[in-house]
């Protein structure tokens, strides 16, 4: 097989298979690419000793954006400016350029106009609706995160995984506008909890988090999340569970690597882009059960559900 670019889905497959202790050769065979592609991927995108598929994909996209072949030539930008000044809409410009073999997305043109405005330019005045870009529907601005406590303040014992009761949290998105899935993972046992929510709002995420963890409240010491605004109600979560809530460094998803890997396993049952309104709670429960009863190499091939139960009884 020749070298080929890896998709985000394949990166999550790599992560899930690595978690199970599968060799690089077998991983390459499973995802349908040459083993050199997998080795190259791991060499390029492994942070420390943990491979994070989300971070790897973001890094790959950033490299593409910076690559010269993906940059829009200056002469094309000048032509775009000319058409904007003649009151063409970004959609019209994008369609005409695409038909001429010079593709530029209308989203890029809108962003270019916005950047021009920030720098004091007047291109925005040529937009049909003035300086505003109207979208269908009305979007509610996500809540800001107040009083966030950095992962730097988190007790060192959490890093060792020696203590039972330290959790990582994340959200997995479905097809746009169809909701999200709140995912929680206990770091020592790798026990995984998930619940579908109607939206990624801070209110819905906080409610689901509390519902998932309340039965195990005495086994919740800390919760660590990324910097997504869906965790803006972190103080409510911490108060309800009598726990401490910490935020990882921006763009450092490997600091919640176990949760990221579990999310990759979840994608086997809820593929990326799924309409979550069509995914029943029975599917969510099946996925959670299958993942928790799957033996893990890092646990000596024991099952997270069994380890979790043993630790709950011993605590």
Give mean pLDDT, residues 19-48: 82
How would residue 65 be classed by pLDDT, with cut points 50, 70 and 90?
low
Per the structure block, which two tokens stand in for 180? 């999200």
Residue 79 confidence (pLDDT) above 80? yes
Helix (H) or strand (E) holding 82: helix 74-85
Position 136 in a domain: no
Which of 20, 37, 68 lies at the terminal end of a domain, its last residue?
Answer: 68
How would residue 286 be classed by pLDDT, with cut points 50, 70 and 90?
very high
Helix (H) or strand (E) holding 51: strand 50-51
**Do residues 78 and 181 share a domain?**
no
Residue 147 confidence (pLDDT) above 50? yes
**Do residues 166 and 306 share a domain?**
yes
Per the structure block, which two tokens stand in for 230? 């869906």
Q: Provide the pLDDT for residue 139.
A: 42
Specify the 3-state DSSP secondary structure of 164: coil
**Do residues 122 and 169 share a domain?**
no
**How far is it, in rounded angstroms, from Cα 253 to Cα 19?**
16
Position 53 in a domain: yes
**Do residues 170 and 299 share a domain?**
yes
**How far is it, in rounded angstroms, from Cα 245 to Cα 151?**
9
Instruction: Count Cβ atoms below 10 Å from residue 292 Cβ, excluding itself.
Output: 21
Q: Provide the pLDDT for residue 271.
A: 92
Position 146 in a domain: no
Q: Provide the pLDDT for residue 243.
A: 95
Domain of 86, in residue numbers: 72-126
Give mean pLDDT, residues 210-232: 95
Which of 110, 126, 142 lies at the terminal end of a domain, its last residue?
Answer: 126
Count structural domains, the chain. 3
Per the structure block, which two tokens stand in for 143? 């809540």
**How far is it, in rounded angstroms, from Cα 102 to Cα 84?**
16
**Do residues 86 and 214 share a domain?**
no
- Which residue(s) pair with 167 in the sheet? 186, 223
**Do residues 279 and 207 share a domain?**
yes
Assess contact for 293 and 190: CB atoms under 8 A.
no
Position 212 in a domain: yes
Give the burial string for 110-132 (b: 16+ CB within 10 Å, else e): bebbeeeeeeeeebbebbeeeee
List, for residues 251-272, the tens digit of each pLDDT value: 788 899 999 999 999 999 999 8
Strands annotated E in 147-295: 166-173, 180-186, 192-197, 222-225, 244-247
Rounded to two decimals, the pTM is 0.58
**Do residues 231 and 110 share a domain?**
no
Position 116 in a domain: yes
**Do residues 86 and 19 share a domain?**
no
**How far is it, in rounded angstroms, from Cα 273 to Cα 120?**
39
**How far is it, in rounded angstroms, from Cα 302 to Cα 294?**
8
**Do residues 101 and 228 share a domain?**
no
CATH number at residue 162: 3.30.420.10
**Do residues 62 and 109 share a domain?**
no
**Do residues 163 and 280 share a domain?**
yes
Strands annotated E in 210-284: 222-225, 244-247
**Do residues 37 and 120 share a domain?**
no
Position 234 in a domain: yes
Beta strands 244-247 and 222-225: pairing type? parallel
Position 3 in a domain: no
% of residues, the chain, pLDDT over 90: 48
């Amino acid at each position: 097989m020749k070298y080929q670019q890896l998709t985000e889905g394949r990166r999550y497959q790599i992560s899930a298979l690595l978690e199970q202790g599968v060799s690089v050769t077998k991983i390459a065979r499973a995802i349908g690419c040459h083993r050199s592609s997998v080795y190259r991927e791991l060499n390029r995108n492994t942070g420390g000793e943990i491979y994070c598929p989300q971070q790897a994909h973001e890094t790959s996209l950033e490299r593409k954006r910076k690559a010269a072949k993906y940059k829009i030539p200056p002469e094309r930008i000048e032509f775009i400016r000319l058409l904007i000044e003649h009151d063409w809409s970004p959609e019209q410009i994008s369609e005409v350029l695409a038909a001429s073999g010079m593709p530029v997305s209308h989203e890029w043109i809108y962003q270019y106009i916005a950047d021009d405005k920030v720098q004091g330019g007047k291109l925005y005045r040529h937009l049909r609706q003035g300086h505003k870009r109207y979208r269908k529907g009305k979007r509610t601005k996500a809540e800001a995160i107040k009083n966030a406590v950095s992962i730097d303040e988190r007790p060192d014992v959490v890093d060792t995984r020696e203590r039972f009761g330290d959790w990582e949290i994340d959200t997995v998105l479905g097809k746009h506008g169809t909701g999200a899935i709140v995912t929680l993972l206990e770091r020592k046992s790798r026990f995984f909890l998930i619940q579908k929510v109607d939206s990624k709002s801070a209110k819905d995420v906080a409610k689901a988090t509390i519902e998932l963890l309340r039965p195990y409240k005495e086994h919740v010491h800390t919760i660590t999340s990324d910097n997504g605004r869906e965790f803006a109600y972190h103080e409510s979560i911490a108060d309800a569970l009598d726990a401490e809530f910490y935020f990882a460094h921006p763009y450092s998803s490997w600091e919640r690597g176990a949760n990221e890997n579990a999310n990759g396993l979840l994608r086997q049952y809820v593929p990326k882009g799924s309409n979550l309104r069509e995914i029943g709670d029975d599917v969510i429960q099946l996925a959670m059960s299958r993942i928790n009863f799957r033996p893990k190499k890092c646990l000596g091939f024991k099952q997270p559900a069994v380890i979790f139960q043993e630790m709950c009884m011993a605590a």
